[in-house]
Structure 1
């Protein structure tokens, strides 16, 4: 592969366009189109759902309306994210033939560049769990990827700052304890460059990232522009991204899911029915293979707290056994089946 890679430095763009551009480039990809790297920043906040997520499962409708933040649904995987002007995006849209078939190898192939960029600035960085970039053991990027038509897509960002309060406020939470656990876990495990390297500016990070492309891919990288066909496709995708309706693929796998905060960090909940048909919730933070915290509503056994610091999956079985022994039915849950 010797053809030049096209670089699109789009600067600051509308939020919808920061998502639409890579969808449009992937949709219009064919054999004579160049592999492309996009670098841009959204000029307004928005929320973005992964392809396999349902808006009603992830976000609180009332909170969304109060916040007035638009929601877009991308056609690649990953979890729900909050995005705004304090994030620098990098997006790789390459022909499928030029990318490893294995998702793990594909992520490593593309994420090596942002990883080395962070390391260049003296940050202790690593790639964890296939597609998560960490600094000092904490998540510092939102990464997603997948295949659209003839293109392989990997997208990510550098978090210069993050609005923890807005993200935690719009999550759908079955009870206050769940939101409290999720908010605290978000602050503990999602890191920003403002926290670890406040002197860094977006333009210098962007310049270092771009400087590394050619050597990493062993190809020339040439700055270019969008074609008229691609520009038209971007406009079409603006409307497609706002379609949050369920697809056949989603419906076939629809089930309650835990909230992922970072690699190895999940917030679970269980809906419990007490004698007399009273409903109560237990909220659980799973962290690095152990139950880190439990919050149970009134009426649930206080002994549930004894499960903290115990390893999973044994702790899940013990938690459910304690509920059953107390005459409590677990109606639904997001932790694994025993």
Structure 2
């Protein structure tokens, strides 16, 4: 990413938004954000102070400057060449508030960790949120990808979602507007979610605590939660589980460079310590190829891949064929 000059972009944008209250940083290392701990820099990283600050920023940014939002980096692979344009990351200070409302409803900012949402619901005696205890992401990501676990999905809890579009206009979306499907929302891709209201139901705190403990025990038993991982790598195909197809194709423990399909849960990729993002993406595409060859099933990535390849890296093409 040698042609990128974050300082130049910063110098271009700062005069357009003199009243900006958030933080702009040039050439920000994305490897410090992602759970894989890999990837090149963001040309410019912006952390808005609040929704109004975000709206003002987006209204001022020229249309030719790419804008991308990321969450806590748990389900994200940033390529080694980094990310051109502006990467927006919502801070806990500006978007991390939780309010318990009447009628077993909860308002949560997009930067609230899913695990914290589960804990707040438990403390308020509101059921229907225990599954978030086992999802390693934030509310914004859960809204975008209809995150779910233990048989419950985000779409079952959402009442309304607040968002800002690329032009800085603020919107309120209903559950229907979100267009939910399995691990997917058809809400416009340029919308940045800022907060949401969720609906739960009255439940005994002891019952919720028990369910959350079961979620945690399950995760610790079957998932490599203490590794550098991005969570589930592939979406479950219709009628099967991604890990079963990966396992049947002989890819449990498969390694490329410093990247490995976890021997513990083979739908989790892990950085064993020396992996590049290129290693991880190559491994993922190799697994997809082997599964396709073995069972005829095309696995879809659940991990979001962004950015550019570094100088000298060959682009990773989907379905590589029997190369390894």
> TM-score normalised to the size of structure 2?
0.27
Task: Choose 1 or 2 for highest CA Rg.
Answer: 1
